[in-house]
Amino acid sequence: MKQTALRRAATVSAVAAVFLLGLAGPAAAHVTVNPGSATQGGYTKVSFRVPNESDTASTTKLEINLPVESPIGSVSVKPVPGWTAAPEKSKLTTPVKVHDSEITEAVTKITWTAAAGSEIKPGTFQEFDVSLGPLPQVDKMVFKALQTYSDGTIVRWIDEPTTDGTEPESPAPVLKLAAASAAPSAAASAPAAVATGEESDSGGSGAAWGIAGLVAGLAGLVLGLLAYRKAATPAPGATPTA
């Protein structure tokens, strides 16, 4: 009777786990950007990971929108076999400086389109690499994405992060940006380096002289012992003295 109750409890738990996994699966399979963090002012390579959520249709197109309010001066895409990438530029309301030069337009959208036979099939995913920089001085970048299927369905991953930390229904890929840590200047570190070098040389010389003195002292001690033994040992045929 006890074993039957245990079997029933295990069966109920297994069914509940499968049900919960079934609910969590589709919500987790959205377009993401990887890695999810980078440094402000730096350059980085990100990958937009696109899973196929359909059981019957294939993904034929991906559109990634770069935030216009935080433009990026340099954007380049890595070729993906079987896919055509088409970056689109837009005029900027306020020019931005990149390497001491102002730019008045920037890439604000990239569209990848699959050739016949290269679509993202059900149960598979594809990654699209992009090089970005210099990254803006903001805490995050939201890349709104549109995923088009072969049956005409368009899934819009455009929901921005919520203030309470819960995941929205159709979350957009988010790249979190952290401020660059302040590095010490070369002028400030130079005196310390010189002082360290001098201390190292002085310490090395002192150690060398100390070792030489120790070796000389041991040699003198050995020679003294040998001389003592020679003096204490009687010559052959000599009568030992009391």
Residue 181 tokens read as 């840590």
Query: pLDDT tens across 184-202, in order?
Result: 444 444 444 433 343 334 3
- Residue 186: per-residue pLDDT: 43
- Residue 184: per-residue pLDDT: 45
- Residue 91: per-residue pLDDT: 93
Q: What's the whole-model pTM score?
A: 0.64
Answer whether residue 1 shows pLDDT above 60. no
- Residue 169: per-residue pLDDT: 93
Q: Which residues contact 71 (CB under 8 A, 6 or more apart)?
A: 92, 96, 103, 106, 108, 136
Least confident of 10-19, 103-112, 157-166: 10-19
Q: Which residues pair with 145 in a beta bridge?
A: 64, 157
- Residue 242: per-residue pLDDT: 45
Cα(56)–Cα(153) distance, rounded to whole angstroms?
12
Q: Which residues contact 57 (CB under 8 A, 6 or more apart)?
A: 122, 149, 150, 151, 153
Q: Check: CB of residue 104 under 8 Å from CB of residue 92.
A: yes
DSSP-derived pairing of the beta strands 101-114 and 83-98:
antiparallel
User: Is pLDDT larger for residue 225 or for residue 108?
Assistant: 108
Q: Going edge to edge, which strands form the sheet with 44-51?
A: 32-34, 44-51, 125-133, 74-77
Q: What SS3 string covers 35-94?
A: CCEEECCCCEEEEEEEECCCCCCCEEEEEEECCCCCCCCEEEECCCCCEEEEEEEEEEEE
Q: Check: CB of residue 86 under 8 Å from CB of residue 111.
A: yes
Cα(66)–Cα(175) distance, rounded to whole angstroms?
11
Query: pLDDT tens across 43-99, in order?
Result: 999 999 999 999 999 999 999 999 999 999 999 999 999 999 999 999 998 888 777
Cα(152)–Cα(125) distance, rounded to whole angstroms?
18
Query: pLDDT tens across 126-150, in order?
Result: 999 999 999 999 999 999 999 999 9
Question: What are the chain's domains?
Answer: 29-178 (2.60.40.2230)
The percent of residues above 90 in pLDDT, for the chain, comes to 54
What's the longest Cα–Cα distance across the chain? 123
Q: Check: CB of residue 193 under 8 Å from CB of residue 185.
A: no
Q: Check: CB of residue 31 under 8 Å from CB of residue 154.
A: no
Query: pLDDT tens across 203-230, in order?
Result: 444 444 455 555 555 555 555 555 555 5
